[in-house]
C-alpha cells in the first residue's frame, strides 16, 4: 500500500458541490472544504462571502498519486464548473464563488495549464476559459457545518445543486457521465 500522498486544491464556486464528485474516486483520501487565495487570516464564511477577503470557496484534496492521477482530478474539476464565467458560478455571484486551480508544485502547474489549454481547444465551451491557474496559498478549513454538507443535508444540497443551475449545466455539457 502506498504511503505517498499529494494535495490538490480547486475552487469551483460553492464548495458544497465540489466534494461529492471527487470522493467517488479511488485514491482520494480526504476532501476539506475551505477558503484560499486571499489576504485575510482565518476567515469566516461570512467574511469570505462579503468579497472583502480575496478568498474563494475551495476544496483541498489529499490523494494517492499511485491510485489517481492529478490529470484525472483536473478532468473531474472541469466537469463541475462553468469555466467561462468570471462572475461566480451559476446562481452564486461574486469573487468568493470564482473558479481557480491552485497548484502545489511545478508539475501540477504544467498539468493544469495543459489541461486548461486542452479544455479551451477541445472542450464543450463556446466562450473563453477564464479559470486561472495560481500558486497554492494558505488553505483555511471552513466551519464544520460546511464539511460533507452534501451528506449531512442531502435534501437541501440536491435542491440547491438543481436550483442553482449547476446540475442542468453539467448534464447539458457532459451528459450524465
Q: Which residues contact 122 (CB under 8 A, 6 or more apart)?
A: none
Least confident of 39-48, 49-58, 81-90, 155-164: 155-164
| Residue ranges of domains in the chain, CATH in brackets | 6-174 (3.30.1060.10)
142-148 — which CB contacts under 8 Å span 24+ positions? 142/15, 142/32, 142/33, 142/34, 142/35, 142/45, 142/57, 143/44, 143/45, 146/15, 146/16, 146/33, 146/45, 147/32, 147/33, 148/19
* pLDDT given at position 177: 53
Cell 502547474 belongs to 109
Confirm whether 14 is a catalytic residue.
yes
Q: Fill in the DSSP letter of residue 143.
A: P
Q: Catalytic pick from 14, 18, 76, 100?
A: 14
- What is the chain's mean pLDDT, rounded? 95
* pLDDT given at position 175: 84
> Above 80 in pLDDT, residue 10?
yes
* pLDDT given at position 3: 74
What's the pLDDT band for 68 if we cut at 50, 70, 90? very high
* pLDDT given at position 126: 87
Report pTM.
0.95
- How does pLDDT run across 129-170, given as a tens digit for each residue? 999 999 999 999 999 999 998 989 899 999 999 999 999 999
Average of pLDDT values for 5-12?
A: 98
CA–CA distance, 12 with 82 (Å, rounded to integer): 8
Average of pLDDT values for 99-108?
A: 98
Amino acid at each position: 500500500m502506498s504511503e505517498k500522498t499529494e494535495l490538490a486544491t480547486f475552487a469551483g464556486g460553492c464548495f458544497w458541490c465540489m466534494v461529492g464528485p471527487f470522493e467517488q474516486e479511488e485514491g482520494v483520501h480526504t476532501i476539506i472544504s475551505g477558503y484560499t487565495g486571499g489576504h485575510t487570516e482565518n476567515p469566516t464564511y461570512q467574511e469570505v462571502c462579503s468579497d472583502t477577503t480575496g478568498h474563494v470557496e475551495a476544496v483541498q484534496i489529499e490523494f494517492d498519486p499511485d491510485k489517481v492521477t492529478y490529470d484525472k482530478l483536473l478532468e473531474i474539476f472541469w466537469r463541475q464548473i462553468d469555466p467561462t464565467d468570471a462572475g461566480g458560478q451559476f446562481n452564486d455571484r461574486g469573487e468568493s464563488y470564482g473558479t481557480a486551480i491552485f497548484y502545489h508544485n511545478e508539475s501540477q502547474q504544467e498539468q493544469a495549464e495543459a489541461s486548461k489549454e486542452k479544455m479551451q481547444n477541445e472542450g464543450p465551451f463556446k466562450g473563453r476559459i477564464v479559470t486561472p491557474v495560481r500558486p497554492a496559498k494558505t488553505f483555511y478549513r471552513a466551519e464544520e457545518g460546511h464539511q460533507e454538507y452534501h451528506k449531512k443535508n442531502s435534501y437541501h444540497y440536491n435542491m440547491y445543486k438543481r436550483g442553482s443551475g449547476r446540475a442542468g449545466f453539467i448534464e447539458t455539457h457532459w451528459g450524465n457521465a
